[in-house]
A = this chain, B = another copy of it.
Amino acid sequence: MEQIKLNSNFLSIPESYLFSEVAAKVAAYRKAYPEATIISLGIGDVTTPIAPAITEAMHKAVDEMADASTFHGYGPEQGYLFLREAIAREDYEARGVDISPEEIFISDGAKSDLGNIGDLFSAGCRVAVTDPVYPVYVDTTAMAGRAGRFSSGRWDRIEYLPATAANGFIPPLPSRQPDLIYLCYPNNPTGTVLSRDELKVWVDFARDNRCIILFDSAYEAYITTPGVPHSIYEIEGAREVAIEFRSFSKRAGFTGLRCGYTVVPEALKLMDAEGNTISLRKLWLRRQTTKFNGASYIIQRGAAAVYTPEGLRQTGEQIEAYMDNAHTLLEACRRADLEAFGGQDAPYLWVRLPDGVSSWEMFDRMLTELNIVCTPGCGFGPAGEGYVRLTAFNTPEATREAARRLLNFKI
């Protein structure tokens, strides 16, 4: 009898042991040394509570749901207009970028959208990623059957574009023409950014080579350097080649609330096999109306409160506090003679290790000698070996204590 047909692409994806191995090592150490005060600079999760302007808006929304005259049932799959209008105005118009509410799609988070966007493309699409990279781009590419075969830590149909200290974290353009290019700026895990001119190189490449850039700007709110683009649409012509993914997770602490959005400009059009012009915005709308039922009304009200004067001020202060942490860690690395990148326009520091020191060796030493948890860089891709990632998301107190411990560290 014939077997039910599984998606065999799922079966070829190696289990990711990075975070489970980190957790196992930390747990083992904690058991052996129960008195140790371990500080996590590992996982990229926020710690600051939700700002008052936002919780107030959510309380109000809960009350609305309790009253028949203000109750909200099914909302628009694309998201409420009140939120899409606020985004269009504050995140785009305020930066001189013309994005209409019809081009904005609210979701339960950028991770969902970054995975689901693959539904629009065929399994035959060729993919390029920078390296190191947020593993979700690679794993969802593999699940969709676009990655080829996995061997020696790489998929043979994905082009990996290394971004290391050697090239100043500016990855080279693809050598083969890809269909889809994942870019994330400010970058996770390296914490580095591209200038306007550097990003323009990618937009021009995509235009010349008919690629689509999947641009993850989940960390744009952390940019402090003037002139660094917050949105890819600040670059001329990007509307015709780029989809942008954003999140309230790091901008306003929504990791547990769940809200993000995706911009698919109307100008982003492709041709089908018969030469007909196809609007990707319409395809995404079709995908979302069929396989999604909108984000929670309460959470959308909370997200809209981010854009009120109080919300902007309060979340801005939270981000400043995290960036103070980043600067504290940068200074500690400098004094400890550790070469650290990022941390200026992103909540991540990317620490380069001396030749011959591996990511896991550094992880072990930091855990056992300093009681600090970092993330081994090799978990983010082949070019991440020889680095570790530190995050700025712990409390100021814990971060300062971690910085003190780093001062006496000799690698």
Interface residues of A (CB under 8 A from B): 1-8, 10-11, 13, 43, 45-50, 52, 55, 58-59, 62-63, 65-68, 71-75, 108-109, 111-112, 115-116, 119-122, 124-125, 136, 139-140, 143, 177, 179-180, 209-212, 253, 255-258, 270-273, 278, 283, 286-287, 290-299, 395
Determine the distance from Cα of A121 to Cα of B4 in the docked complex, in whole angstroms: 8
- Report if A258-B125 is in contact (Cβ < 8 Å); known contacts: A10-B283, A270-B4, A272-B11: no
Please tell me if the beta carbons of A272 and B6 are within 8 angstroms of each other in the complex.
Answer: yes
Residue A109 contacts which of B63, B271, B273, B293 (CB distance < 8 angstroms)?
B293
Most buried by B among A108, A112, A136, A253: A108
The closest CB in chain B to the CB of A122 belongs to: B5
Instruction: Name the distance in Å between A256's Cβ and chain B's nearest Cβ.
Output: 4
- Are the C-beta atoms of A46 and B73 separated by less than 8 Å? yes
Query: Which residues on the B side are within 8 Å of A63 (C-beta)?
Result: 55
> CB within 8 A of A258: which of B108, B115, B177, B287?
B108
A5-B122, A211-B4 in contact; A65/B49 too (CB < 8 A)?
yes
Q: Which residues of B contact A13 (CB under 8 A)?
A: 286
Chain B residues positioned under 8 Å from A271 (CB to CB): 3
Bound: A7/B117 CA distance, A = 11
Query: What are 26 sample pairs from A and B whose C-beta atoms fall under 8 A apart?
Result: A2-B210, A3-B210, A3-B273, A6-B272, A6-B278, A7-B121, A10-B283, A10-B286, A11-B272, A43-B74, A46-B73, A47-B71, A47-B73, A50-B66, A68-B395, A71-B253, A73-B253, A74-B255, A109-B293, A111-B291, A112-B291, A116-B291, A136-B291, A255-B293, A256-B294, A298-B299
Are B71's CB and A50's CB within 8 A? yes
Which residues on the B side are within 8 Å of A253 (C-beta)? Answer: 71, 73
Indicate which residue in B5, B115, B293, B296 contacts A124 across the interface (CB closer than 8 Å): B5
- A-B contacts besides A136-B290, A256-B296, 8 pairs, CB < 8 Å: A4-B211, A10-B287, A49-B65, A52-B66, A58-B65, A108-B293, A111-B291, A258-B295
Are B74 and A49 in contact, CB atoms less than 8 angstroms apart? no
Which residues of chain B are near A296, meaning CB under 8 Å? 108, 256-258, 296, 298-299
